């Protein structure tokens, strides 16, 4: 489409999700820019056909029609927009900013207010789907904001998402839906790890246990995806333990703010936090299984 080809969008945060989103924008014919402090990530995007990429976006900010922020947390999001190299003050008035980091409701509202003060609009638009769906332009977007901002960002949404949920026009509702989703995701990983740890303790081959569960009623997408990593003994980080320390922290904080008990989420948070403190924070989130004592997992040295 000619409109899509003319649109110029910057993706801030070229991690596994952001890189996939940026390449999906390229594949959709959008003029794509990237912002990331890592030279390697910028070089990768440039090799894929980006117009420009660098540690800051000030040099091309006034060329942009839209910005997508896919940082790890709210602090990085705020720094990318308003920090020393922040892009927000240099964007054209009215430029829509799609904030897709997983952040608290309070942070989403505060960032939206600061963007509005700078003359910019925001879509509160967390995403899900992992690196594979990000690379395929098939993420799920759970978004909230004015209809006019949805419309302005439609070419970007078409490029990066397989499904877009228009939750409401209220900033913060997108963040709320993502936090509830992460409750389920984190609990499913923790429960899957507990089940596989019990199988290991009982002497059941983990390949067999995995095959049974993935063909029976106890299966979940998270079990099937993450426990495969355990069976393979491969904890190459796709989504790290520390990501779920952050996300389940947001879940528990949300429950506390409402005085609403979340016993399963609280237990899962404790498991991920324990794994992080034990030195597994930068490993794949399936490494939460390593908190269980007295078992030998694939890839481990046999215990003596």
225 and 266 together in one domain: yes
* pLDDT for position 1: 38
Domain span at residue 91 reads 2-169
Cβ distance 175 to 104 under 8 Å? Answer: yes
Q: Indicate the pLDDT class of residue 302, thresholds 50, 70 and 90.
A: low
Q: Is the pLDDT of residue 98 over 60?
A: yes
pLDDT at 197 over 50: yes
Domain match, 53 and 104 both: yes
Tally of structural domains, the chain:
2
Q: How far apart are CA 161 and CA 138, in angstroms?
A: 5
Distance separating alpha carbons of residues 144 and 171, to the nearest angstrom: 6
Average pLDDT (9-21) is: 96
Q: Same domain, yes or no, for 272 and 194?
A: yes
Tell me whether residue 304 is in a domain: no
Predicted pLDDT of residue 303:
54
Nearest by Cα to 142 from 116, 107, 179, 97: 179
**pLDDT single digits (tens) 250-294:** 999 999 999 999 999 999 999 999 999 999 999 999 999 999 999
The mean pLDDT value for 50-54 works out to: 97
Q: Are residues 159 and 181 in the same domain?
A: no
Query: Does one domain contain both 145 and 186?
Result: no
Given a cut of 50, is residue 19 above it in pLDDT?
yes
298 domain-assigned: no
Beta-strand ranges (E) seen in the chain are: 8-12, 31-35, 52-54, 66-69, 96-99, 121-124, 127-128, 139-144, 161-168
Same-domain status, 196 and 153 = no
Tell me whether residue 139 is in a domain. Answer: yes
d(CA 5, CA 194): 48
Domain boundary among 142, 169, 196: 169
The pLDDT score that the predictor gives to residue 300 is 87
Q: What is the pLDDT of residue 190?
A: 98
Positions annotated as catalytic residues are 178
Q: Residue 71: its pLDDT value, please?
A: 97
**Are residues 134 and 195 located together in one domain of the fold?**
no
Q: Are residues 160 and 278 in the same domain?
A: no
What average pLDDT does the structure give for the chain?
96
Residue 97 — pLDDT band, cuts 50, 70, 90?
very high
Confidence of residue 6 (pLDDT cuts 50, 70, 90): low
Rounded (10°) angle between helices 173-202 and 206-213: 130
CATH of the domain at 77: 3.40.50.720
* One domain for residues 185 and 87: no
Q: Is residue 238 pLDDT above 90, yes or no?
A: no
Are 202 and 89 in a shared domain? no
pLDDT of residue 4: 41
**Residues 156 and 196 grouped into a single domain:** no
pLDDT in tens, 153-190: 999 999 999 999 999 999 999 999 999 999 999 999 99
pLDDT at 180: 98
Residue 301 lies in a domain: no
- Is the residue at 297 inside a domain? no
Mean pLDDT of 142-158: 98
Contact 188, 220 (CB under 8 A): yes
Model's pTM, two decimal places?
0.92
In a domain, 284, yes or no: yes
Give the per-residue pLDDT at 142: 98
The mean pLDDT of 57-70, rounded to a whole number, is: 97
| Mean per-residue pLDDT, 31-35 | 98
Residues 280 and 219: beta-carbon distance below 8 Å: no
């Amino acid at each position: 489409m000619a409109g899509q080809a003319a649109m110029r969008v910057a993706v801030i945060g070229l991690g596994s999700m952001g890189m996939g989103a940026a390449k999906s924008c390229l594949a959709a014919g959008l003029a794509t820019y990237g912002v990331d402090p890592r030279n390697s990530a910028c070089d990768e995007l440039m090799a894929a056909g980006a117009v420009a990429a660098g540690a800051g976006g000030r040099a091309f900010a006034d060329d942009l029609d839209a910005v997508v922020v896919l940082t790890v947390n709210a602090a990085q999001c705020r720094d990318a927009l308003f920090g020393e190299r922040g892009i927000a003050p240099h964007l054209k008035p009215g430029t829509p900013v799609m904030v897709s980091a997983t952040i608290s409701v309070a942070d989403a509202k505060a960032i939206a207010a600061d963007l509005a003060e700078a003359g910019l609009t925001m879509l509160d638009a967390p995403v899900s789907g992992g690196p594979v769906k990000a690379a395929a332009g098939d993420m799920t977007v759970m978004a909230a904001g004015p209809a006019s901002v949805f419309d302005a960002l439609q070419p970007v949404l078409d490029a990066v998402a397989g499904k877009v949920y228009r939750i409401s026009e209220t900033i913060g509702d997108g963040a709320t839906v993502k936090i509830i989703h992460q409750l389920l995701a984190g609990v499913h990983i923790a429960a899957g790890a507990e089940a596989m740890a019990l199988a290991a303790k009982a002497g059941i081959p983990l390949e067999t246990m995995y095959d049974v569960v993935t063909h029976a009623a106890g299966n979940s997408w998270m079990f099937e995806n993450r426990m495969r990593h355990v069976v393979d003994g491969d904890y190459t980080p796709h989504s790290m333990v520390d990501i779920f320390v952050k996300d389940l922290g947001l879940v528990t904080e949300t429950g506390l703010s409402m005085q609403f008990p979340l016993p399963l989420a609280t237990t899962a948070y404790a498991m991920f936090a324990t794994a992080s403190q034990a030195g597994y924070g930068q490993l794949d989130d399936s490494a939460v299984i390593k908190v269980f004592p007295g078992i030998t997992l694939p890839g481990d040295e046999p215990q003596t």
